[in-house]
Amino acid sequence: MPLQIALIHNGPAFKPELTAYRAFFASRGVKAEVFRRPRPHELRDFDVEWHFTGLDRLPRQKGRIKVHEYTSSSIPPCARWKNRLKRQFNMRPDLRVFSDRFIRDAFAFRDEVPTFYRPAPAVASGFLDCAPSSEPEFDLVYLGTLHRSRRAVPMLRRVMDRLPEARLLVVNGLEPFLPPAERIHYTGLLPYEEVPQALRRARYGLNLVPNRFPFHRQASLKLAEYAAVGLRVISTDYPWARQFEAERRGRFFFLSPGMRNLSEASLAEFDFRGPHLHGLRWEEVLDQSGVLPWLMERIRSE
Protein backbone atom coordinates (compact mmCIF):
# COMPACT_ATOMS: atom_id res chain seq x y z
CA MET A 1 0.00 0.00 0.00
CA PRO A 2 1.47 3.41 -0.95
CA LEU A 3 2.52 5.96 1.64
CA GLN A 4 -0.43 8.21 2.56
CA ILE A 5 0.08 11.83 3.60
CA ALA A 6 -2.55 14.18 5.03
CA LEU A 7 -1.74 17.81 4.15
CA ILE A 8 -3.36 19.90 6.90
CA HIS A 9 -4.05 23.61 6.60
CA ASN A 10 -5.90 25.42 9.39
CA GLY A 11 -5.48 29.08 8.50
CA PRO A 12 -7.36 31.51 6.25
CA ALA A 13 -4.44 32.28 3.92
CA PHE A 14 -4.34 30.91 0.39
CA LYS A 15 -1.81 28.07 0.17
CA PRO A 16 -0.79 27.49 -3.46
CA GLU A 17 1.81 24.96 -2.35
CA LEU A 18 -0.92 22.45 -1.50
CA THR A 19 -1.62 21.91 -5.21
CA ALA A 20 2.09 21.54 -5.91
CA TYR A 21 2.63 19.11 -3.03
CA ARG A 22 -0.20 16.85 -4.15
CA ALA A 23 1.17 16.72 -7.70
CA PHE A 24 4.71 16.07 -6.49
CA PHE A 25 3.72 13.26 -4.16
CA ALA A 26 1.47 11.67 -6.80
CA SER A 27 4.42 11.63 -9.23
CA ARG A 28 6.37 9.66 -6.59
CA GLY A 29 3.62 7.11 -6.00
CA VAL A 30 2.48 8.73 -2.75
CA LYS A 31 -1.17 9.45 -1.98
CA ALA A 32 -1.75 12.94 -0.53
CA GLU A 33 -5.03 14.53 0.50
CA VAL A 34 -5.73 18.06 1.73
CA PHE A 35 -7.65 18.68 4.95
CA ARG A 36 -8.75 21.89 6.62
CA ARG A 37 -9.23 21.56 10.38
CA PRO A 38 -9.72 17.78 10.27
CA ARG A 39 -11.18 15.73 13.08
CA PRO A 40 -8.88 13.00 14.44
CA HIS A 41 -10.91 10.13 12.97
CA GLU A 42 -10.51 11.55 9.45
CA LEU A 43 -6.75 10.91 9.64
CA ARG A 44 -7.03 7.31 10.82
CA ASP A 45 -5.64 5.70 7.66
CA PHE A 46 -2.76 8.12 7.05
CA ASP A 47 0.92 7.46 7.69
CA VAL A 48 1.88 11.14 7.88
CA GLU A 49 0.08 14.28 9.03
CA TRP A 50 1.82 17.27 7.47
CA HIS A 51 0.77 20.54 9.09
CA PHE A 52 1.22 23.96 7.50
CA THR A 53 1.29 25.70 10.87
CA GLY A 54 -0.73 27.38 12.39
CA LEU A 55 -1.47 25.80 15.71
CA ASP A 56 -1.44 22.03 15.90
CA ARG A 57 -3.17 20.57 18.95
CA LEU A 58 -4.04 17.21 17.39
CA PRO A 59 -2.92 14.47 19.79
CA ARG A 60 -0.08 12.29 18.63
CA GLN A 61 -1.07 8.90 17.24
CA LYS A 62 1.10 5.80 17.45
CA GLY A 63 2.49 4.84 14.07
CA ARG A 64 1.78 8.21 12.41
CA ILE A 65 4.53 10.71 11.65
CA LYS A 66 3.85 14.35 12.43
CA VAL A 67 5.47 17.03 10.24
CA HIS A 68 5.30 20.77 10.85
CA GLU A 69 6.12 23.11 7.96
CA TYR A 70 6.77 26.81 8.56
CA THR A 71 6.74 28.79 5.31
CA SER A 72 6.57 32.20 6.99
CA SER A 73 6.71 33.91 10.33
CA SER A 74 3.47 34.96 12.00
CA ILE A 75 2.17 38.29 10.72
CA PRO A 76 1.62 41.56 12.62
CA PRO A 77 0.25 42.65 14.93
CA CYS A 78 2.32 40.96 17.67
CA ALA A 79 4.19 38.74 15.18
CA ARG A 80 6.95 37.75 17.61
CA TRP A 81 4.45 37.00 20.37
CA LYS A 82 2.48 34.75 17.99
CA ASN A 83 5.69 32.91 17.10
CA ARG A 84 6.37 32.28 20.79
CA LEU A 85 2.79 31.05 21.24
CA LYS A 86 3.21 28.50 18.45
CA ARG A 87 6.57 27.41 19.83
CA GLN A 88 5.06 26.84 23.27
CA PHE A 89 1.71 25.26 22.44
CA ASN A 90 2.19 23.30 19.21
CA MET A 91 2.50 19.56 19.60
CA ARG A 92 6.08 18.40 19.21
CA PRO A 93 6.49 16.93 15.70
CA ASP A 94 8.82 14.26 14.38
CA LEU A 95 10.15 16.65 11.74
CA ARG A 96 10.11 20.37 10.98
CA VAL A 97 10.42 21.95 7.54
CA PHE A 98 11.33 25.62 7.09
CA SER A 99 11.56 27.70 3.94
CA ASP A 100 14.86 29.18 5.13
CA ARG A 101 16.99 29.88 8.21
CA PHE A 102 15.35 33.25 8.84
CA ILE A 103 12.01 31.51 9.41
CA ARG A 104 13.68 28.90 11.62
CA ASP A 105 15.34 31.60 13.70
CA ALA A 106 12.08 33.56 13.99
CA PHE A 107 10.52 30.62 15.85
CA ALA A 108 13.69 29.69 17.77
CA PHE A 109 12.79 26.13 18.70
CA ARG A 110 15.17 24.73 21.30
CA ASP A 111 14.83 20.99 20.91
CA GLU A 112 16.37 18.16 18.89
CA VAL A 113 13.60 17.69 16.31
CA PRO A 114 15.16 17.04 12.87
CA THR A 115 15.04 20.05 10.57
CA PHE A 116 14.82 20.23 6.78
CA TYR A 117 14.64 23.21 4.44
CA ARG A 118 12.29 23.66 1.51
CA PRO A 119 13.82 26.60 -0.39
CA ALA A 120 11.52 29.47 -1.31
CA PRO A 121 10.16 30.80 -3.54
CA ALA A 122 9.13 27.79 -5.59
CA VAL A 123 7.20 28.22 -8.83
CA ALA A 124 4.69 25.90 -10.48
CA SER A 125 5.40 24.72 -14.02
CA GLY A 126 2.25 26.46 -15.25
CA PHE A 127 3.92 29.83 -14.62
CA LEU A 128 7.28 28.93 -16.12
CA ASP A 129 5.84 27.39 -19.28
CA CYS A 130 3.84 30.38 -20.49
CA ALA A 131 4.73 33.77 -21.95
CA PRO A 132 3.26 37.27 -21.47
CA SER A 133 0.67 38.62 -23.87
CA SER A 134 1.99 40.78 -26.70
CA GLU A 135 -0.88 43.21 -26.13
CA PRO A 136 -1.76 43.21 -22.40
CA GLU A 137 -5.17 44.52 -21.33
CA PHE A 138 -3.83 46.03 -18.09
CA ASP A 139 -0.79 48.07 -17.21
CA LEU A 140 -0.39 46.64 -13.71
CA VAL A 141 -1.30 43.49 -11.83
CA TYR A 142 -1.28 42.84 -8.10
CA LEU A 143 -1.48 39.21 -6.97
CA GLY A 144 -2.62 38.16 -3.52
CA THR A 145 -4.15 39.35 -0.30
CA LEU A 146 -5.01 42.95 0.51
CA HIS A 147 -4.87 42.23 4.24
CA ARG A 148 -4.16 45.36 6.26
CA SER A 149 -1.08 43.78 7.90
CA ARG A 150 0.69 44.08 4.55
CA ARG A 151 -0.31 47.73 4.01
CA ALA A 152 -1.10 46.87 0.41
CA VAL A 153 -4.13 49.14 0.04
CA PRO A 154 -2.32 52.43 0.87
CA MET A 155 0.55 51.43 -1.39
CA LEU A 156 -1.78 50.57 -4.26
CA ARG A 157 -3.55 53.90 -3.84
CA ARG A 158 -0.21 55.68 -4.08
CA VAL A 159 0.72 53.73 -7.21
CA MET A 160 -2.57 54.66 -8.87
CA ASP A 161 -2.06 58.32 -7.92
CA ARG A 162 1.42 58.32 -9.43
CA LEU A 163 0.20 56.60 -12.63
CA PRO A 164 -3.08 58.40 -13.39
CA GLU A 165 -3.66 56.60 -16.71
CA ALA A 166 -2.85 53.09 -15.53
CA ARG A 167 -5.32 50.21 -15.34
CA LEU A 168 -4.88 47.71 -12.52
CA LEU A 169 -5.83 44.03 -12.32
CA VAL A 170 -6.14 42.57 -8.81
CA VAL A 171 -5.85 38.76 -8.80
CA ASN A 172 -7.08 36.83 -5.75
CA GLY A 173 -7.49 39.99 -3.67
CA LEU A 174 -10.87 39.68 -1.98
CA GLU A 175 -11.41 43.19 -0.60
CA PRO A 176 -12.56 45.36 -3.56
CA PHE A 177 -12.55 48.85 -2.05
CA LEU A 178 -9.76 50.60 -3.91
CA PRO A 179 -10.60 53.84 -5.70
CA PRO A 180 -10.77 54.76 -8.53
CA ALA A 181 -13.02 51.81 -9.33
CA GLU A 182 -13.22 52.51 -13.07
CA ARG A 183 -9.49 51.76 -13.46
CA ILE A 184 -9.41 48.60 -11.32
CA HIS A 185 -10.68 45.12 -12.13
CA TYR A 186 -10.90 42.23 -9.63
CA THR A 187 -10.78 38.58 -10.67
CA GLY A 188 -12.02 37.22 -7.36
CA LEU A 189 -10.44 34.02 -6.02
CA LEU A 190 -9.17 31.94 -8.94
CA PRO A 191 -8.15 28.28 -9.06
CA TYR A 192 -4.36 28.14 -8.85
CA GLU A 193 -3.99 26.75 -12.38
CA GLU A 194 -5.76 29.85 -13.79
CA VAL A 195 -3.47 32.39 -12.12
CA PRO A 196 -0.67 32.32 -14.78
CA GLN A 197 -3.15 33.17 -17.53
CA ALA A 198 -4.56 36.01 -15.41
CA LEU A 199 -1.11 37.49 -14.82
CA ARG A 200 -0.43 37.46 -18.55
CA ARG A 201 -3.15 40.09 -18.97
CA ALA A 202 -0.80 42.79 -17.58
CA ARG A 203 2.53 44.42 -18.39
CA TYR A 204 3.99 45.09 -14.92
CA GLY A 205 3.76 43.02 -11.73
CA LEU A 206 3.49 44.91 -8.43
CA ASN A 207 5.44 43.42 -5.53
CA LEU A 208 4.34 45.69 -2.68
CA VAL A 209 5.89 44.38 0.53
CA PRO A 210 6.34 46.51 3.67
CA ASN A 211 9.97 46.92 4.74
CA ARG A 212 9.39 45.59 8.28
CA PHE A 213 9.51 42.35 10.24
CA PRO A 214 8.84 39.70 9.12
CA PHE A 215 7.94 40.61 5.54
CA HIS A 216 11.26 42.27 4.68
CA ARG A 217 13.20 39.01 5.03
CA GLN A 218 10.68 36.52 3.66
CA ALA A 219 10.57 35.13 0.13
CA SER A 220 7.97 36.75 -2.14
CA LEU A 221 6.14 34.10 -4.13
CA LYS A 222 4.29 36.73 -6.16
CA LEU A 223 7.56 38.28 -7.34
CA ALA A 224 8.81 34.92 -8.61
CA GLU A 225 5.49 34.19 -10.29
CA TYR A 226 5.48 37.58 -12.01
CA ALA A 227 8.97 36.89 -13.32
CA ALA A 228 8.06 33.35 -14.38
CA VAL A 229 5.35 34.59 -16.78
CA GLY A 230 7.62 37.32 -18.12
CA LEU A 231 6.22 40.40 -16.38
CA ARG A 232 8.39 43.39 -15.57
CA VAL A 233 8.66 43.70 -11.79
CA ILE A 234 7.95 46.88 -9.84
CA SER A 235 8.83 46.38 -6.17
CA THR A 236 9.12 48.16 -2.88
CA ASP A 237 12.71 48.31 -1.69
CA TYR A 238 13.52 45.76 1.01
CA PRO A 239 16.35 43.29 1.77
CA TRP A 240 14.94 40.02 0.41
CA ALA A 241 13.95 41.53 -2.95
CA ARG A 242 17.39 43.12 -3.34
CA GLN A 243 19.08 39.82 -2.50
CA PHE A 244 16.89 37.85 -4.92
CA GLU A 245 17.56 40.37 -7.69
CA ALA A 246 21.33 40.12 -7.16
CA GLU A 247 21.50 36.33 -6.82
CA ARG A 248 19.24 35.73 -9.82
CA ARG A 249 20.70 38.52 -11.98
CA GLY A 250 17.44 40.30 -12.56
CA ARG A 251 16.68 44.01 -12.66
CA PHE A 252 13.58 45.30 -10.89
CA PHE A 253 12.22 48.83 -10.62
CA PHE A 254 12.54 49.61 -6.90
CA LEU A 255 10.18 52.27 -5.57
CA SER A 256 11.73 55.14 -3.67
CA PRO A 257 10.25 56.47 -0.40
CA GLY A 258 6.92 58.06 -1.23
CA MET A 259 7.19 56.48 -4.71
CA ARG A 260 8.52 59.78 -6.03
CA ASN A 261 10.50 57.96 -8.74
CA LEU A 262 7.38 56.31 -10.18
CA SER A 263 6.01 57.70 -13.43
CA GLU A 264 5.07 56.48 -16.88
CA ALA A 265 8.27 57.99 -18.25
CA SER A 266 10.53 56.38 -15.62
CA LEU A 267 9.02 52.96 -16.30
CA ALA A 268 9.35 53.36 -20.06
CA GLU A 269 13.04 54.28 -19.72
CA PHE A 270 13.96 51.59 -17.17
CA ASP A 271 16.04 48.60 -18.29
CA PHE A 272 14.01 45.73 -16.80
CA ARG A 273 15.56 42.29 -16.73
CA GLY A 274 13.92 39.04 -15.69
CA PRO A 275 15.75 36.93 -13.08
CA HIS A 276 17.04 33.45 -13.76
CA LEU A 277 14.62 30.95 -12.20
CA HIS A 278 16.49 27.70 -12.77
CA GLY A 279 16.09 25.25 -9.92
CA LEU A 280 12.90 26.87 -8.60
CA ARG A 281 10.25 24.53 -10.00
CA TRP A 282 8.24 22.91 -7.22
CA GLU A 283 9.41 19.44 -8.26
CA GLU A 284 13.06 20.49 -8.02
CA VAL A 285 12.64 22.32 -4.72
CA LEU A 286 10.80 19.44 -3.04
CA ASP A 287 13.36 16.96 -4.29
CA GLN A 288 16.15 19.17 -2.94
CA SER A 289 14.54 19.26 0.51
CA GLY A 290 15.19 15.55 1.12
CA VAL A 291 12.01 15.20 3.16
CA LEU A 292 10.39 12.35 1.20
CA PRO A 293 13.39 9.96 1.50
CA TRP A 294 13.50 10.71 5.23
CA LEU A 295 9.81 9.86 5.58
CA MET A 296 10.17 6.64 3.60
CA GLU A 297 13.12 5.52 5.71
CA ARG A 298 11.27 6.39 8.92
CA ILE A 299 8.22 4.38 7.83
CA ARG A 300 10.37 1.37 6.96
CA SER A 301 12.12 1.47 10.32
CA GLU A 302 8.92 1.46 12.38
The CATH number for 295's domain is: 3.40.50
23 in a domain, yes or no?
yes
Confidence of residue 142 (pLDDT cuts 50, 70, 90): very high
* pTM of model > 0.75: yes
Q: Which structural domain, as residue segments, surrounds residue 16?
A: 4-122+282-301
Residue 60 forms part of a structural domain: yes
Could you give the number of structural domains in the chain?
2
pLDDT in tens, 153-207: 899 999 999 999 999 999 987 665 676 778 999 998 888 889 999 999 999 999 9
pLDDT tens column, 231-243: 999 999 999 999 9
Amino acid occupying residue 81: W
| Mean pLDDT to the nearest integer, 84-112 | 93
The reply to whether 241 and 141 lie within a common domain is yes
Q: Do 138 and 254 sit in the same domain of this protein?
A: yes
Would you state the pLDDT for residue 176? 58
Distance CA 218, CA 119 (A): 11
pLDDT on residue 10: 79
- Higher pLDDT residue, 180 or 8? 8
Residue 301 has pLDDT above 90, yes or no: no
Query: Residues for the chain: how many in total?
Result: 302
Query: How many beta carbons lie within 10 A of that of residue 81, not counting itself?
Result: 9
Question: Is residue 277 one of the residues assigned to a domain?
Answer: no
**What are the pLDDT digits (tens) for 239-298?**
999 999 999 999 999 999 999 999 999 999 999 999 999 999 999 999 999 999 999 999
Q: What would the pLDDT profile of 217-231 be if each residue is shown by its tens digit?
A: 999 999 999 999 999
Mean pLDDT of 1-27: 84
Please tell me the predicted confidence (pLDDT) of residue 202: 96
| CATH code, domain carrying 251 | 3.40.50.2000
In a domain, 275, yes or no: no
Q: Which pLDDT does position 147 carry in this prediction? A: 77
Domain check: are 62 and 97 in the same one? yes
Confidence of residue 132 (pLDDT cuts 50, 70, 90): low
Q: At residue 275, what is the residue type?
A: P
The DSSP code for 274 is P
Mean pLDDT for the chain overall: 91
DSSP assignment of 71-108 equals -SPPPSSSHHHHHHHHHHHSPP-SEEEESSHHHHHHH-
